[in-house]
Amino acid sequence: MSCTPSDPLSTDVAVIGGGIIGLGIALEAQRAGHRIMLIDPEPARGATYAAAGMLAPVSELHYQEEDLLTLTLASAARWPGFARALADEGYPDIGFRTTPTLALGANAADRNALAQLREAQAKLGLDVARLSIREARKLEPLLSPDLVAAHLIAEDHQVDPRAVAAAIEARLLAAAQRSGHRADETVVRTRAVELLHENPANTRPRTRGVLLDDGREVHAREVVIANGLGATQLGGLPENLMLPLRPVHGDILRLRVPEHLRELCTATLRGMVRGLPVYLVPRNDGTVVIGATAREDGRDGVNAGAVHQLLRDAQALLPAVAELELLESTARARPGTPDNAPLLGRVEGPDGREMPGLLIATGFFRHGVLLTPIAAHIITELLAGVNDPAWDRFRPDRFSPALQEH
Amino acid sequence: MSCTPSDPLSTDVAVIGGGIIGLGIALEAQRAGHRIMLIDPEPARGATYAAAGMLAPVSELHYQEEDLLTLTLASAARWPGFARALADEGYPDIGFRTTPTLALGANAADRNALAQLREAQAKLGLDVARLSIREARKLEPLLSPDLVAAHLIAEDHQVDPRAVAAAIEARLLAAAQRSGHRADETVVRTRAVELLHENPANTRPRTRGVLLDDGREVHAREVVIANGLGATQLGGLPENLMLPLRPVHGDILRLRVPEHLRELCTATLRGMVRGLPVYLVPRNDGTVVIGATAREDGRDGVNAGAVHQLLRDAQALLPAVAELELLESTARARPGTPDNAPLLGRVEGPDGREMPGLLIATGFFRHGVLLTPIAAHIITELLAGVNDPAWDRFRPDRFSPALQEH
């Protein structure tokens, strides 16, 4: 430890939070020519570490998030290009798969729920094909013959979030190095403690950087808050800005498919099993991800009852799950919001005008992976001064009545 | 790496294998005045790492191992003294608990199985008290009211195998250090490859040491083979000696009891749930161990179907298991033998007489923790030239017809 205060670090854009959202924003900002600095004590070890990586705007409609549909569809449409751009830059291994999703029901009530959902999906012009169980088992021979409903959603794909995060971090570091910047000043593995402002007492303060946990200051032209649930812990947030984030925990399992079951399944399977959702995402590397519960009990550890439920219900879809090797049980909290939509964009300052130098991208709940390309695009456009009013409904200050009064 | 052959290491007793059996033998041998050397690349990371640590000769009778009863009862009787001796030497934290065991049945068939077992136990003079479910729930209020049978076994206790292993290793190293021996020549973290013999071509060879994986030789007056399933991999075993060991995998879970359930249970619970065994062992540190399956599929990883079954059946005993935090899922192979009894003692050499310098202690199957004190005692007696014929039925060469002919 040095006893003399160190020189401040400086960058164009400081991104607080190295989950997939922060990484995606840093990536697009770097491509747009900004020098970036990503600040996170452990990048990609939060909700991103647990995420299954389904890119599923159609099946996710299930959870009463119709408002989000324009955003999720826009982001799903961007994923192929997002993946291709990374591949063109030398990072092809992100597990992007355009295999379809099968929605499955285990009993009559589940079948009714899926039928209602399909009606809603059809009304919105979304492509969902009803299959017989026989047809579904032609596609996926190991599906349980006891299932009673199957829908094919051709456009819901998947990606491997850990692989995406690793690819983006490597890309950020490689590009920074080519520009002569240090790796440890591109991805700064420290906690961000507080926003720094010019004229803090003024009605027109301007964010000018971030104070780090180790006492260093980062000076930045723009600061993006993208650290999920951690956003509310930051000092120096605009007064009266409400970020109504709550932790919604999910338990998720990773399993290995043994050799004799290599053809376990190709599609992503999403089941309703006696009223409870379960999904099963097969990966290119011979593993399978099974999730996910949504708990609001505030407990950080893996819940034994949830693991039991996931294994039970996954076997109801695919009995051969009993043969798999359990590699990992993980629980993480996702940042939920009152309307299940993200908090994304600039915020109003005390004078009722947009606060310069500050952007927010959090509250992505269960859609962080899907929404990464569009969030990165929207934030990078805002950095360039371009504001698409289509996304105003996701402004981060929409739950802050005092600010909305202006 | 040195290019000159290093000097051989030397010791009185070389113990191959640092599971709880090898550690226990090394401990007693050291106490008896022998200089010991324990050889294991990763001590206590095999079956010991998974073991629940039940000291349960009475309830274990369930598994048709009546022949073993004299040995298991003798070892259970030694456990309090074994624990006390470690405590007196400064190692009290081994989780030895004299709380009782409850045997529980979930349906009518399970009740019948338990009743038959109780009859067999009573015939052998073992103390098993039948309880009503109401009485059982007075002892353990969180037991499921749906259970239909409960027996109290006051004498079946428990210990924490990882804590025992850590205590013994620390004790071995401390005593060796006091005698001026190096830690890395007391616990040698390398694989043993081959037994070394004097007069190997002779009808009267004598084991004189062990060749290590790193090329070093260990010279020893006596070599004890205590590396579980690894025993059959050793070079230089006596010709015609059959060690019929097979891997029997067990899956086991470790969970944390949340604050609001601190009084989850006090007794060890052993259930028969629709014909399948499950046990739940509460530890002093606020964790609970749930096991254990017995698989002979040869697969080393944790089996998803087994985890599902364990969580399901543990909840049938104690519904609050659903509230616990899943900390760890582990699978390990135990060394099974044709009669489920250990291979313990000296072996006959080519000339029909006991082979000097060689002892074997493996094949402890699911009884390794329980049998540690008696195995350590028997081997240490043999080192002193004392052979108790009561234990001849567990001789390691009993499955070697060629040797038995002499």
In a domain, A375, yes or no: yes
> Do B265 and B321 reside in the same domain of the chain?
yes
> Do A149 and A251 reside in the same domain of the chain?
yes
Question: How many angstroms separate the CA atoms of A126 and A119, rounded?
Answer: 10
* Per-residue pLDDT at A9: 96
Dump pLDDT digits (tens) for A192-230. 999 999 987 777 889 999 999 999 999 999 999 999 999
> Do B213 and B259 reside in the same domain of the chain?
no
Dump pLDDT digits (tens) for B279-296. 999 999 999 999 988 999
Using a CB-CB cut-off of 8 Å, the residues of chain A touching B255 are: 304
ipTM of the shown complex: 0.88
In a domain, A310, yes or no: yes
Confidence check: pLDDT of A243 > 90: yes
* Per-residue pLDDT at A3: 42
8 Å CB contact of B325 and A258 = no
Mean pLDDT, residues A256-269 taken together: 94
> Do A144 and A107 reside in the same domain of the chain?
yes
% of chain A with per-residue pLDDT over 90: 89
> Do B174 and B141 reside in the same domain of the chain?
no
Q: Is B224 helix (H, G, I), strand (E, B) or coil?
A: strand
> Do B148 and B221 reside in the same domain of the chain?
no
Give the residue from A336, A371, A389 where a domain finishes.
A336
8 Å CB contact of A325 and B302 = yes
In a domain, B2, yes or no: no
- Domain range for A353 is 9-49+162-245+339-405
* Per-residue pLDDT at A199: 84
In a domain, A285, yes or no: yes
DSSP structure string for B193-214: EEEEEESTTSSS-EEEEEEETT
Out of A145-159, B116-130, B195-209, B248-262, which region has the weakest mean confidence (pLDDT)? B195-209
Using a CB-CB cut-off of 8 Å, the residues of chain B touching A325 are: 299, 301-304
- List, in order, residues 6 or more apart from B251 with CB less than 8 Å away: B291, B292, B293, B295, B302, B303, B306, B307, B310, B329, B330, B331
Closest CB from A299, A301, A325 relative to B304: A325
Question: How many angstroms separate the CA atoms of B264 and B267, rounded?
Answer: 10
> Do A343 and A221 reside in the same domain of the chain?
yes
Using a CB-CB cut-off of 8 Å, the residues of chain B touching A322 are: 303-305, 308
> Do B253 and B328 reside in the same domain of the chain?
yes
Instruction: Please give the mean pLDDT across all residues of chain A.
Output: 94
Question: How many angstroms separate the CA atoms of B9 and B38, rounded?
Answer: 12
8 Å CB contact of B321 and A329 = no
Give the residue from B318, B336, B354 where a domain finishes.
B336
How many domains are there within chain A? 2
In a domain, A275, yes or no: yes
A301 CB within 8 Å of a chain B CB:
yes
> Do B228 and B253 reside in the same domain of the chain?
no
CATH of the domain at A264: 3.30.9.10
> Do B128 and B149 reside in the same domain of the chain?
yes
In a domain, A64, yes or no: no
In a domain, A181, yes or no: yes
* Per-residue pLDDT at A5: 58
Q: Are A29 and A380 in contact (CB under 8 A)?
A: yes
pLDDT interval class at A348 (50, 70, 90) = confident
Quick one: residue A363, left, alpha or beta (phi over 0 = left, psi -120 to 50 = alpha)? left
Mean pLDDT, residues A161-171 taken together: 98
CATH of the domain at B379: 3.50.50.60
> Do A168 and A240 reside in the same domain of the chain?
yes
In a domain, B56, yes or no: no
Please name which of A371, A290, A295, A308 lies closest in space to residue A25, comparing C-alpha atoms: A371
Please name which of A251, A238, A233 lies closest in space to residue A294, comparing C-alpha atoms: A251
pLDDT interval class at B406 (50, 70, 90) = very low
Dump pLDDT digits (tens) for B16-46. 999 999 999 999 999 999 999 999 999 999 9
* Per-residue pLDDT at B67: 78
Dump pLDDT digits (tens) for B343-400. 999 998 777 788 999 999 999 999 999 999 999 999 999 999 999 999 999 999 999 8
Using a CB-CB cut-off of 8 Å, the residues of chain B touching A298 are: none
A298 CB within 8 Å of a chain B CB:
no
| Strand-pair partners of A290 | A253, A280
* Per-residue pLDDT at A379: 98
Give the residue from B317, B336, B355 where a domain finishes.
B336
> Do B264 and B320 reside in the same domain of the chain?
yes
Confidence check: pLDDT of B66 > 80: no
B311 CB within 8 Å of a chain A CB:
yes
pLDDT interval class at B1 (50, 70, 90) = very low
A297 CB within 8 Å of a chain B CB:
no
Question: How many angstroms separate the CA atoms of A143 and A102, rounded?
Answer: 11
* Per-residue pLDDT at A62: 57
